Amino acid sequence: MPDLSHRRRLLVLAICCMSLLIVSLDNTVLNVALPSLQRDLHASTSGLQWTIDAYTLVLAALLMLAGSTADRIGRKRVFLTGLVVFGLGSLLCSLAPNLELLVVFRMVQAVGGSMLNPVAMSIITNTFTDPRERARAIGVWGAVVGISMAAGPLVGGLLVESVGWRSIFWINLPVALVAILLTLRFVPESRAPKARRFDPVGQVLVVALFGSLTYAIIEAPHARAGTVLPFAAIAFLALLALARYEPRRTEPLIDLRFFRSAPFSGATVIAVCGFAALGGFLFLSTLYLQNVRGLDALHAGLWMLPMAVPTLLCAPLSGRLVGSRGPRLPLLIAGCAITTSTVLFAAFQAETSNLTLTLGYLLFGIGFGFVNAPITNSAVSGMPRSQAGVAAAVASTSRQLGSTLGVAVVGALLASGVGSSSYRDVFVTAAQPGWWVLVACGVLVLVLGAVTSSRWARRTAQATAEHLKEHEVREAAGVGA
């Protein structure tokens, strides 16, 4: 990538953030629209789960493929393709006549979305080469998630109440169009010096693992054991096959050598836990506010502002802390805040009081605001720039997998607890097992944040980076690993 002026680098960052905005805003807005969609399309709880998880599942399955493809054929080219497909998927979602087709069109959206976030992060990593400048750029990137959380409930609530749930997909179209035009004009093309080969077996195994695992979790409360167990077995076998097959490839879809770095491994698990907490938190909160308290979509969105605003404010602060002091402090703050917030709901039924409900939302917003920047920075720092797309894609995959599992597990526990009763009668009690799962996620963020930001962990990251660079040098010289 050619050297760019400071103003041009900031413009590239803004364009990349636009892609993150439409992807993040789409999920946030959809959560607010779930009760309206449920009434209009006569969807069950599992149907609502699939509306969200069909998107995050496909996204998680294709992110690493998109990252490596972008490194190979050009990041700008893949990024542009993603914007076009995401816009088309959004248009189709707005026209869906039933739940089944909406789920299918959400998967089309996800195909485009898989080409946006990891590729945009790779573009940012290769644009901002100074570590501190890159950490601040990642902080801005994380703040966009906060913006989507702040704007999503309000914009979604206003659109759902005034126009209907279909309009939530329309807002993606002008943003995608502007992003396409700006990308064509200002984003330079870049690719890895050495192209990575396609790994079809690894890709199939990833799809089998994520898809079968999610299906087994979501359908467990409703289907017979004989229906669910085969999918659980497929997930287990796919995991074993990945662990055995991928290390034997010269250029695997999932480079297991990355996981020799404790910060990278920690960032991967923290991403799963942090975004599982977010997915489950939003799912439970939306259904509670609208189906139990009886609020309309707009007022439910206003109730979520105590969660959204701290995320918006804390994300850039987290990026600055990562750039100046490293990831340890932001991760500890995130773990403590997420754990405390979810304990309020799990142990003290925070939903039943306006004060504790607001406090729980506030604490969760602080925690999530601090968690994103250290995840991304730990994932890409120390990795060779030629591997930036793949490393960023693993982190993004972990986020989407976490969100998928959070909605699947929490939704399954809620559906099992509600049974044939109405939400209004049993929701608070039925939701408690789900809240305890989110407590466990917060504790893991705290513990892993402390362990994987230690001096020992930093030494493993340095050793991994040196090993990867030596491997690249040997391959370039024709020696091989």
Q: Taking the CB of residue 365, how many other CB atoms lie within 10 A of it?
A: 28
**Residue type (1 letter), 191:** R
Instruction: Give the C-alpha separation, 112 to 115, whole Å.
Output: 5
Q: In the prediction, which pLDDT does 131 show?
A: 75
Q: In the prediction, which pLDDT does 480 show?
A: 46
Q: In the prediction, which pLDDT does 73 show?
A: 85
Instruction: Give the C-alpha separation, 472 to 219, whole Å.
Output: 44
Question: Quick one: which of 143, 402, 134 has its CA closest to 267?
Answer: 402
- 3-state percent breakdown (helix, strand, coil) of the chain, nearest 5: 85, 0, 15
Average pLDDT by stretches of 10, the chain with 481 residues: 76 88 81 86 84 85 80 88 95 93 94 86 80 76 71 82 89 91 89 72 87 82 74 91 85 79 89 93 90 88 87 82 86 96 94 93 93 79 62 77 87 84 82 96 95 86 76 60 43
Question: Quick one: which of 48, 6, 30 has its CA closest to 94?
Answer: 30
Q: Are 47 and 391 in contact (CB under 8 A)?
A: no
Q: Are 147 and 309 in contact (CB under 8 A)?
A: no
Name the DSSP class of 1. -
DSSP string, 222-260: TS-HHHHHHHHHHHHHHHHHHHHHGGGSSS-SS-GGGGG
DSSP string, 278-319: HHHHHHHHHHIIIIIS---HHHHHHHTHHHHHHHHHHHHHHH
What is the helix (H) or strand (E) element at residue 397, kind and residue range? helix 388-418
pTM of the predicted protein model:
0.82
What is the helix (H) or strand (E) element at residue 189, kind and residue range? none
Question: Quick one: which of 142, 367, 395, 143 has its CA closest to 258?
Answer: 395
Q: Taking the CB of residue 391, how many other CB atoms lie within 10 A of it?
A: 30
Q: In the prediction, which pLDDT does 476 show?
A: 59
